[in-house]
Structure 1
Amino acid sequence: MSEDEFSPSVLGTKEHWDAVYSRELRTFQEYGDEGEIWFGEGSMTRVVRWLNTQKIPLTTSIVDIGTGNGMLLVELAKLGYSNLMGIDYCSDAIALARNICEKEGVSQSVNLQVADFLGSFSPSEQYDIGLDKGTFDAVSLDPNGSEEKRRQYIQSLCQVLKPNGIFIITSCNWTKDELLGQFGKEFEVTNELPTPTFSFGGHSGRSVTSLVFRRRTCT
């Protein structure tokens, strides 16, 4: 794996993620390795813990935007959540997620669909909760019209979430204030989930930001 694969201009392209999940699908088929958990297991634990503390009903409809290998949905299904949808524009990511769900025995609780959140995804009903763990980051790094695609993302989010729906985003590219600048018109922040901090040169910060938003009235 070359350093070029991690350059911002590459991380924002579908070609990059197609290659990543083609490789991870082959690895799973050959060795049973489920692949990388984006931002690590702690990122999943934070979301799951928040859902538990809020006593979110197990029948709540949840969509995972850019689900990748689907491991977050697998963990939610194991807890009893039964109305789960995962979408990804990479067909091999969805194939991998389906294989993992089948292996973990949660296929009946998790629906998976190859779809582009900015275009082809058009659900018949709106969702109570939307999850994003790195997808908005990738959209923001797209070398072809990232500003317009960020606007499209927010428009799509308004279309798929119910009024007062919840949006939980985990990002390594955007600070809390920056995410508020991006989503603050259509969404209000309700919680900031704890993430690891670091100190350097007498200053402290976070390498990952995780926020819970509630949908306002979208236009």
Structure 2
Amino acid sequence: MEDTTENVDVESGNTSDPEEDNCSDNDFEPSKLGTKEYWEDAYQKELETFTDIGDVGEIWFGEGSMSRVLRWMDKANIPENAAILDIGTGNGAFLVELAKHGYRNLTGIDYSSASVELARTILHTEGLTDVTVKEMDFLNCHGDLKGFDVCIDKGTFDAISLNPDNSKEGKKMYLKVLKDALKDKGFFAVTSCNWTKEQLLDRFSEGFDFVQELPTTSFQFGGKTGNSVTALIFKRVH
């Protein structure tokens, strides 16, 4: 939402002026989207639907969100054997696309057991049996995530920011775990519908260099142009 005057929480409809509230610890009102219970229930329903009719369910931010990251990976010459982590893998749709794109060292994690079961089931149906999917809370992985060349987040940092229980500490822990998970000069691709470019640049200013912004669909309102989704690439630096 660069260049627009308001930042909108898609769940609650709340707005904040980034000039007055740039990267504060109370950026958004708490939401059920920030709770494990919400996602466990959502993915349990998607798992039942996939079992019944083979529908993989919702692709968070749409297929375009995967395509833009894949195009960047092509241009950045990310090798096929790069260690890639999908943070908050959900139904595993991005893992499927990465595997079909030729990437061979893939790991997806999610704190929802239903998500993990759904992702594994979909990957197995696609014949992709060498992709690793783990039930793991990114904020409580206790140093188990190390050595990744690329970490990808489509909405997980958003959800952590909406958690009713101490999102301030969650955002700080997210940054710490992300730093530990990435190799030096490893890449972080983040897609957000709650954070502006400026806010994300501020959040990830410590330990990361900004690489580029990926193009997303723009809109016009009140004479200003903005984006409903922000997608940025960072590089880990020590």
What is the one-letter code of the residue matched to 2:190?
A: I
Aligned to 2:216: 195
Deviation of 1:176 (Å): 0.5
Mean Cα deviation higher: 72-81 or 119-128: 119-128
Residue 3 of structure 1: aligned partner: none
Distance apart, 1:115 and its partner CA? 0.2
- Distance, in Å, in 1 between the alignment partners of 2:118 and 2:143 is 22
1:93 to 112, 115, 118: 115
Give secondary structure in 1 for the equivalent of 2:139: coil
Q: % of aligned pairs identical?
A: 52
Range with greater deviation from structure 2 (112-121 or 202-211): 112-121
Q: After superposing the two structures, state which structure 1 stretch, 72-81 or 37-46, moved more.
A: 72-81
Per the TM alignment, residue 201 of structure 1 is displaced from its structure 2 partner at its CA by 1.4
Match of 1:58 in 2: 80
Q: Is the 8 A contact 2:189 2:233 kept in 1?
A: yes
For residues 209 and 125 of structure 1, the distance between their equivalents in structure 2, rounded to whole angstroms, comes to 26
Higher relative contact order (CA 8 A, sep 6+): 2
Retained in 1: the 8 A contact 2:145–2:181?
no
1:37 maps to 59
Aligned residues: 211
Q: Give 1:10's aligned residue.
A: 32
**What CA deviation, in whole Å up to 9, does each residue of 1:18-45 have, x standing for no partner?**
1100110110011100010000000000
SS of match in other structure, 1:62 = strand
Q: Which runs of 5+ in 2 are unaligned?
A: 1-10, 13-29
Q: Distance in 2 between matches of 1:129 and 1:88?
A: 17
Identify unmatched segments of 5+ residues in structure 1: 1-5
Structure with the higher helix share, 1 or 2: 1
Supply the distance in 1 between the matched residues of 2:170 and 2:62 (Cα, whole angstroms).
26
Query: In the alignment, what sits opposite 2:103?
Result: 81
Alignment match of 2:94 (pick from 72, 75, 83): 72
Is 1:28 paired with 2:50? Answer: yes
State the TM-score, normalizing by the size of structure 2: 0.86
Cα distance in 1, alignment partners of residues 185 and 215 from structure 2: 23
